[in-house]
Structure 1
Amino acid sequence: MAGDNRTSVTVIGLGSMGRALAEAFVAAGHATTVWNRTPGRAGPLVDQGAMHAASIADAVTASGLVVTCLTTFEDTRAALEPAASALRGRTLVTLSSGSPAGARETAAWAAAHGARLLTGAVKNVPAAVGAPDTLIYYSGDKAVFDEHETTLRVLGGDTVHLGEEPDLAALYEMAVGAMLLPALVGFFQGAAAVQARGLRVDSMVRFAGKWLDMIKALLPVYAAEIDSGDYSDAASSVNLFLAGAVHDDDLAEETNVDTAWLAPLHDLVRRAAEAGHGEHSVSALTEVLRKSPHSGA
């Protein structure tokens, strides 16, 4: 594979996701340098053709494009600090978790060291890295994104630039990611209830998938209601969800499954009804979640 038009890349952080990123770059023919605080993790990648840097400074200086995959923005800055002076003139891409505030702080830190920054988030599991439908979104300087888009696209075919603000990827990461734990805990609760009847959990997987498909189909409807502020066309009203809360209590008693995690959700529904949204679409819960700017929160 000809490599004269391929960008050299450094990947810092070789956990399961970082390894997948490095493997995708190597497979696409990019000269790939890797570094991890625990050097042994680099071995399998070296066997595939990656180069192992002896130090973080060597890793940064090896490539014009430096991709980090560490847990948080704070971890990223701490790992790079010994090589901060080497970042000048290079492009730094962070693929980590963290708040928008953390992203802004990292953007200021990178700018102070002369680096061009893109923040990003991989919205899938490591095994999906490199697939045509894997979503990865970035934010930051659009010119920098355009320069490296072809290289970054080998990580996921659904590659999106959200905007110039460096914290947008972190904002969307947290906004979208907020759905994950409630959905998973809901499945785990259902699994415990099914097992309480002596049934296998895998018997409910197909039905749970169909349920998630239905929820997915409703998201554009709810988004339109929230954007317009018009909740009057209630296919599923707040009162309907309020009435359903008692069924959760009945299930808990019958199956001996702990459903205490639902209490704050039921409280949110009750507060929405008390605020006059009982006959409105359940998307009106957004109005209760949105705190007043004068609330002091």
Structure 2
Amino acid sequence: MIDQKTAVTVLGTGSMGYAFAEAFLAAGHPTTVWNRSAQRAAPLVAAGANQQLAVADAIVASPLIITCLTTFQATRDSLTAAETELEGRTLVTLNSGTPADAREFARWATGRGARFLGGAIKNVPSAVGEPDTLLYFGGEQAVFDEHAETLRVLGGELVHLGTEPDLAALYESAVGATLLPALLGFFEGAAVLADRGVAARSMVPYSIKWLQMIESLLPVIADEIDNRDYTRLGSSIALFHAAIGYDEQLGRESGVDMSWHAPIHDLLRRAVAEGRGEQSITALIQLLAPDRPALDPEAGDSRSRSLEHRHA
């Protein structure tokens, strides 16, 4: 007996949605696509996709709907004309937005009879389908379990974060906060090297080592944050505060605009003024979120521990 793979509809064929549709087609799933600009889907149609020009027809075509539009609002705007067709179908969002946006969208979708999973993919379009590409989801466990095999076409590492529909948006916001500062640091380094006529590629091996060092410290940093014990890391606020002048001098020497450091320098100065100079740099979280709730010291972060057992 031939195994009939789940039919999937992909709404939005920008760079990421296009990669999703390609992956489903390659895995043998009947794939329907819809995009505001119909011509973008032409190569997918040539590869075997069923294109629908009306979003309602695209939804009717499959029990599993994957949306890859820019925001939750854009997704809702696109679905409004077809909301009566959502009943009984599974709707999986893979777009940007805040946890509040995700909660509001989940209420809207389930209010129209859809089964909802809010998701996020932690990689670039070219890595869709790779074994180490991570996707995580929030929503009903039964819905996740039912579609995990199909969703694994998009990446080999799937995690169900919990039943709250905004968890993927929450983790996406938290984890994604690292990206732009890290990239800006690399751009700054490349600009400093360029002032000496040195190519950016020359520092890639050393930047990788540096990021690996940071990776090794993250468990210690997280433990300090969770326990509010800023003594273990060994890199004090005072150490970073003393380097402010170095950053400014390097900018003058190289002609590189260092103004993006200003709010960071402000945090360091405020921390020293509060008497935190000898605490680890991790203590800056006390300035970023002074009213954050304390974790139960007995239970620890039960959610993060439980996630170790939720990989599908």
Matched residues in 2 for 1:23 and 1:60: separation? 18
Give the match for residue 140 of structure 1.
139
SS of match in other structure, 1:211: helix
Q: Tell me which amino acid in the other structure corresponds to 1:173.
A: E
CA distance in 2, matches of 1:234, 1:271: 20
Where do 1:1-297 residues align within 5 Å?
A: 2-4=2-4, 6-292=5-291
**Count, aligned residues:** 292
Contact 2:118 2:137 in 1 (8 A): yes
Q: Answer yes or no: is the 8 Å Cα contact 1:3–1:29 preserved in 2.
A: no
Alpha-carbon contact 1:234-1:280 (below 8 Å) kept: no
Deviations 1:41-66 (A, max 9, x none): 11111111111113100000000000
Partner SS state of residue 116, structure 2: strand
Query: What's the TM-score, normalizing by structure 2?
Result: 0.91
| CA root-mean-square deviation | 1.2
- AA paired with 2:194? Q
Q: Equivalent residue of 1:215, what SS?
A: helix
- Counting aligned pairs with the same residue, the percent is 59
Do 2:35 and 2:53's aligned partners in 1 also have CA atoms closer than 8 Å?
no
Q: How far did residue 2 of structure 1 move?
A: 4.3
Does structure 1 conserve the Cα–Cα contact (< 8 Å) formed by 2:237 and 2:281?
yes
CA distance in 2, matches of 1:104, 1:72: 13
Instruction: Please give the secondary structure, in 1, of the residue aligned with 2:32.
Output: strand
> Tell me, what secondary structure is at the counterpart of 1:162?
strand
Deviation, 1:275, is 2.2
1:57 counterpart letter in structure 2: A
Please list the CA deviations of residues 166-188 of structure 1 after superposition, one character each: whole Å capped at 9, or x if unmatched: 11100110111111111111111
| CA distance in 1: counterparts of 2:290 and 2:89, whole angstroms | 41
Contact 1:107 1:117 in 2 (8 A): yes
Q: Specify the SS of the correspondent of 1:276.
A: coil
Q: For 1:96 and 1:291, how far apart are their aligned partners in 2?
A: 30
Structure 2 unaligned runs (5+)? 293-312
Deviation (angstroms), 1:142 = 1.0
Cα deviations across residues 130-175 of structure 1 (Å, max 9, x unaligned)? 0000011111111100110110011001111111111110011011
| CA contact 1:233–1:280 (8 Å) conserved in 2 | no
- Aligned residue type for 2:249: D
Cα shift at 1:221: 1.0
Q: Which amino acid aligns with 2:22?
A: E
Residue 247 of structure 2: SS of its match in structure 1? helix
Could you tell me how far 1:269 is from its partner in structure 2?
A: 1.5
C-alpha distance after superposition, 1:1-47 (max 9, x if no partner): 9442x111000000000000111111111111000011111111111
Equivalent residues of 2:220, 2:233 under 8 A apart? no
Q: How many Å separate the matches in 2 of 1:291 and 1:250?
A: 32
Of stretches 191-200 and 283-292 in structure 1, the one that deviates more from structure 2 is: 283-292
3-state DSSP of counterpart to 1:277: coil
In structure 2, C-alpha distance between the alignment counterparts of 1:190 and 1:3, rounded to whole Å: 53
Using the TM superposition, give the Cα deviation of residue 274 of structure 1 relative to its aligned residue in structure 2, in angstroms.
Answer: 2.1
Task: Note the alpha carbon deviations across 1:223-242, whole angstroms, 9 max, x for none.
Answer: 11111111122411111111
Higher mean alpha-carbon deviation, 75-84 vs 42-51, is at: 42-51
Tell me, in whole angstroms, the C-alpha distance in 2 between the residues paired with 1:245 and 1:214.
22
CA deviation vs aligned residue, 1:82-117 (integer Å, no higher than 9, x gap): 110000000000000000110011001001111011
